[in-house]
């Protein structure tokens, strides 16, 4: 998954941050009132001219308010939503979230996806409701309003020994089903809420979302500099989706350069923003191929790339048409086979006008990091009914994920 990459990037990120922030502050940008925001929820659709984009309701506390947000750049060109917070927040009744497990054996907050200690994440995101605090201190178990368990770090003999009836137990899982090996039966009926990339989670934790553009569009792709065809940066060579088989077939019809441990090319420093920056200028297409094709599974492989001047070719289980504007990507799963996809890519890649039409969406939209911690905090204050009372976690997480994969002979088949 994504967070290894993210961790490797950390040092570079910190260095780049300083530079990029400086540049950003030198660029004159206006804070605009966003016309709409698309954090998550039950998807509804808005039409902008011919663009139809799905969007998701705001936390209840934001309803009826005009949001102003502004953003900062990260090296990977994905923006933080910064809900600026002109209205007073309630200062009493803070909710305490106890982080019971680490995240993949580590307490590194980057891997906890920006869930920093104390109220820092909620405050730095200018969440509409910042009255939440996280802690690792198990002696505060009885005070905790909610407990967060990362599924892959759960130990069967390490559960809290008591539980008060109002305490919300939250299971957090971001890996696709095939990477999760736990005793599902023992987890039945334990948790109140789910946190995951699934749209039907109680608190969806997504890698990004498309919102209205609030900053000036700086670049357009320089078609003439794009001498190369397809770029694939990949380190996991054997996957559940069998993307490697698909790409092998695709490569019979169109040039693909494979960077990273599954390929022959390297870029230094590996997986850095510098590499992304320079490679995406040279290539026309980027393979945003997920390791699994499962319900709603779409990672930074898609969202980060949308920030660059390259067309993502997707291969995943998300409803891409529901999360991104038309002509912002090309969906491989919509083609009967790799040969047809190759023909289509060749066509788009050889016609500058057609190629440029895949960047038109950027005039209206930009990609943001998903402020899931704001939704979490808001939800703790307005719990309502669980949207997904998943007593049977296995059924929800694995069976209902409806994963498929590529088969050389049969095409896309159920896993």
By CB under 6 A, the count of residues binding ligand NAG is 25
Taking the complex as a whole, the smallest distance from the CB of residue 149 to ligand NAG amounts, in Å, to 13
**Single residue of 64, 88, 93, 336 touching ligand NAG by CB under 6 A:** 93
Q: Which is nearer to ligand NAG, 70 or 301 (CB)?
A: 70
* Interaction between residue 214 and ligand NAG (CB under 6 A): no
- The interface mask with ligand NAG, positions 184-213, x = CB under 6 A, is -----x--x---------------------
Q: Which is nearer to ligand NAG, 223 or 253 (CB)?
A: 223
Q: Which is nearer to ligand NAG, 168 or 345 (CB)?
A: 168
**Single residue of 47, 50, 185, 224 touching ligand NAG by CB under 6 A:** 50
**Single residue of 131, 152, 298, 310 touching ligand NAG by CB under 6 A:** 131
* Interaction between residue 90 and ligand NAG (CB under 6 A): yes
Taking the complex as a whole, the smallest distance from the CB of residue 146 to ligand NAG amounts, in Å, to 9
**Region from 124-132, 213-221, 254-262, 287-295 binding ligand NAG, contact rule CB under 6 A:** 124-132
Q: Which is nearer to ligand NAG, 70 or 198 (CB)?
A: 70
* Interaction between residue 72 and ligand NAG (CB under 6 A): yes
Contact 107, 136 (CB under 8 A): yes
* Interaction between residue 224 and ligand NAG (CB under 6 A): no
Contact 51, 363 (CB under 8 A): no
Please give, one letter per residue, the 3-state secondary structure of the chain: CCHHHHHHHHHHHHHHHHHHHHHHHHCCCCCEECCCCCCCCCCEEEEECCEEEEECCCCHHHCCCCCEEECCCCCCCCECCEECCCCCCCCCCCEEEEECCCECCECCCCCCCCCCCECHHHHHCCCCCCCEEEECCHHHCCCCCEEEEEHHHCCCCCCCCCCCCCCEEEEEECCCHHHCCCCHHHHCCCCCEEEECCCCCCEECCCCEEEECCCCCCCCCCHHHCCEEEEEECCCCCCCCCHHHHHHHHCCCCCEEEECCCCCECCCCCCCHHHHHHHHHHEEEEEEECCCECCCCCCHHHHHHHCCCCEEEEECCCCHHHHCCCCCCEEHHHCCCHHHHHHHHHHHHCCHHHHHHHHHHHHCEEEECCCHHHHHHHHHHCCCCCCCCCCCHHHHHCHHHCCEEEECCCEEEEC
Contact 236, 262 (CB under 8 A): yes
**Single residue of 4, 46, 84, 220 touching ligand NAG by CB under 6 A:** 84
**Region from 4-12, 14-22, 126-134, 318-326 binding ligand NAG, contact rule CB under 6 A:** 126-134
**Single residue of 88, 165, 336, 384 touching ligand NAG by CB under 6 A:** 165
Q: Which is nearer to ligand NAG, 31 or 399 (CB)?
A: 31
**Single residue of 82, 134, 214, 280 touching ligand NAG by CB under 6 A:** 82
* Interaction between residue 49 and ligand NAG (CB under 6 A): yes
Taking the complex as a whole, the smallest distance from the CB of residue 284 to ligand NAG amounts, in Å, to 14
**Single residue of 33, 354, 408, 413 touching ligand NAG by CB under 6 A:** 354
Residues forming the site for ligand NAG (CB under 6 A): 49-50, 72, 80, 82, 84, 89-90, 92-93, 118-119, 123-124, 126, 130-131, 165-166, 168, 189, 192, 351, 353-354
């Amino acid at each position: 998954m994504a967070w290894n990459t993210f961790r490797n990037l950390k040092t570079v990120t910190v260095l780049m941050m300083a530079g990029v922030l400086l540049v950003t502050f030198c660029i004159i940008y206006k804070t605009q009132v966003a016309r709409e925001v698309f954090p998550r929820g039950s998807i509804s659709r808005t039409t902008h001219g011919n663009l139809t984009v799905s969007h998701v309701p705001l936390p209840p506390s934001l309803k009826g308010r005009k949001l102003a947000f502004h953003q900062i750049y990260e090296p990977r060109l994905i923006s933080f939503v910064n809900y600026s917070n002109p209205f007073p927040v309630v200062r009493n009744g803070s909710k305490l979230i106890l982080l019971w497990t680490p995240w993949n054996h580590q307490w590194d907050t980057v891997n906890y996806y920006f869930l920093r200690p104390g109220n820092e994440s909620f405050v730095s995101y200018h969440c509409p409701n910042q009255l939440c605090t996280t802690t690792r201190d198990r002696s505060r178990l009885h005070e905790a309003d909610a407990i967060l368990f990362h599924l892959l770090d759960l130990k069967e003999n390490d559960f809290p020994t008591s539980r008060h009836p109002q305490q919300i137990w939250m299971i957090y899982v971001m890996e696709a089903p095939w990477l999760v090996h736990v005793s599902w039966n023992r987890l039945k009926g334990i948790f109140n809420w789910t946190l995951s990339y699934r749209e039907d989670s109680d608190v969806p934790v997504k890698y990004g979302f498309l919102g209205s553009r609030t900053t000036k569009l700086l670049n357009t792709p320089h078609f003439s500099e794009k001498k190369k065809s397809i770029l694939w940066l990949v380190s996991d060579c054997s996957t559940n989706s069998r993307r490697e088989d698909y790409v092998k077939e695709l490569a019979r019809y169109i040039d693909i350069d494979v960077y990273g441990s599954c390929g022959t090319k390297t870029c230094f420093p590996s997986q850095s923003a510098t590499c992304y920056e320079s490679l995406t200028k040279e290539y026309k297409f980027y393979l945003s191929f997920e390791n699994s094709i499962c319900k709603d599974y779409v990672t930074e492989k898609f969202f980060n790339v949308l920030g660059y001047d390259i067309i993502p070719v997707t291969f995943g289980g998300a409803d891409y048409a529901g999360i991104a504007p038309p002509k912002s990507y090309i969906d491989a799963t919509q083609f009967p086979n790799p040969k047809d996809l190759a023909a289509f890519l060749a066509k788009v890649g050889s016609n500058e006008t057609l190629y440029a039409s895949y960047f038109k969406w950027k005039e209206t939209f930009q990609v943001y990091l998903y402020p899931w911690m704001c939704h979490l905090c808001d939800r703790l204050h307005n719990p309502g009914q669980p949207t997904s009372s998943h007593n049977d976690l296995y059924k929800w997480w694995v069976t209902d994920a409806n994963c498929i994969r590529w088969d050389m002979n049969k095409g896309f088949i159920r896993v």
